[in-house]
């Protein structure tokens, strides 16, 4: 609605007196008590939001739920509900076998002689590795650095894997290998000469899914 000329005069103040009593109540000045109650409610509401945020479902749980939800519509309901592991449909993981080997781009090979427990479970395991170079010669003069990482989640672990060289036949003991969350982990074995540990000669990666 538009007005020509000057706007209409403001409504007389007495209009307030004829409004509904409830409206008048809402206009009364708020007492300090009202303010305190409103602040307390607001604080509770905010605390609730923060608390819920803190307890938001972790990515792994999301993945499990997705796996269940993604089940084909004609799959038995039990199969979707049971969905016991995020690994059931994981195709990128290696199947653990004692003695399994993986080779890096520069030809170094790591044999995973044993993971204890094995397969690597959720949590910690201890690995025995045997390292050979591109000429298949066992190497006892290497510095290894083990880095577990969850590529789908973009994080690793704060737990450092300590490497102990056995000093014979290219054997190294690694513990703990900490795979703390269910899902796919890459375990990268960086290979360097012990005399120049910052110069990476090769990198070998094992892939395991933790149920």
- Per-residue string for binding with Cu ion, 127-166, x by CB under 5 A? -----------------------x--x-------------
Do residues 195 and 71 touch, judged by C-beta distance below 8 A?
no
Size of the site for Cu ion (CB under 5 A): 3
The least distance separating Cu ion from the CB of residue 87, rounded to whole angstroms, comes to 13
Q: Give 86 or 150: the residue with its C-beta nearer to Cu ion.
A: 150
Q: How far apart are CA 174 and CA 88, in angstroms?
A: 27
- Contact flag: residue 174 with Cu ion (CB under 5 A): no
Q: How many CB atoms sit inside 10 A of residue 49's CB? A: 10
Q: How far apart are CA 209 and CA 93, in angstroms?
A: 6
Options 80-88, 160-168, 176-184, 202-210: segment touching Cu ion (CB under 5 A):
176-184
Q: What's the DSSP call for residue 107?
A: S
Measured at CB, which residue is nearest to Cu ion?
153
- Retrieve residue 47's tokens: 């605390």
Q: What is the DSSP string of 35-78?
A: HHHHHHHHHHHHHHHHHHHHTPPPHHHHHHHHHHHHS-TTS-HH
- Contact flag: residue 210 with Cu ion (CB under 5 A): no
The least distance separating Cu ion from the CB of residue 184, rounded to whole angstroms, comes to 9
Q: Give 103 or 123: the residue with its C-beta nearer to Cu ion.
A: 123
Interacting residues with Cu ion between 48 and 107 (CB under 5 A): none
Q: How far apart are CA 204 and CA 106, in angstroms?
A: 9
Q: Give 150 or 189: the residue with its C-beta nearer to Cu ion.
A: 150
The least distance separating Cu ion from the CB of residue 80, rounded to whole angstroms, comes to 23
Binding site for Cu ion (CB under 5 A): 150, 153, 181
């Amino acid at each position: 609605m538009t007005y020509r000329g000057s706007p209409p005069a403001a409504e007389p103040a007495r209009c307030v007196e004829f409004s509904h009593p409830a409206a008048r109540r809402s206009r009364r000045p708020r007492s300090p008590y009202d303010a305190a109650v409103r602040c307390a409610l607001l604080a509770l509401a905010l605390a609730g939001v923060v608390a819920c945020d803190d307890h938001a479902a972790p990515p792994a749980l999301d993945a499990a739920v997705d796996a269940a939800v993604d089940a084909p519509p004609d799959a038995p309901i039990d199969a979707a509900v049971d969905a016991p592991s995020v690994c059931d449909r994981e195709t990128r993981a290696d199947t653990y076998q004692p003695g399994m080997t993986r080779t890096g781009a520069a030809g170094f090979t790591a044999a995973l002689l044993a993971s204890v427990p094995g397969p690597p479970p959720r949590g910690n395991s201890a690995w025995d590795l045997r390292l050979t170079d591109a000429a298949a010669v066992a190497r006892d003069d290497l510095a290894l650095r083990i880095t577990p990482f969850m590529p789908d989640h973009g994080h690793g672990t704060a737990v450092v894997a300590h490497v102990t060289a056995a000093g014979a036949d290219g054997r190294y003991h690694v513990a703990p290998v900490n795979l703390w969350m269910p899902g796919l982990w890459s375990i990268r074995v960086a290979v360097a000469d012990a005399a120049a540990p910052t110069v990476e000669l090769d990198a070998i990666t094992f892939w395991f899914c933790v149920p």
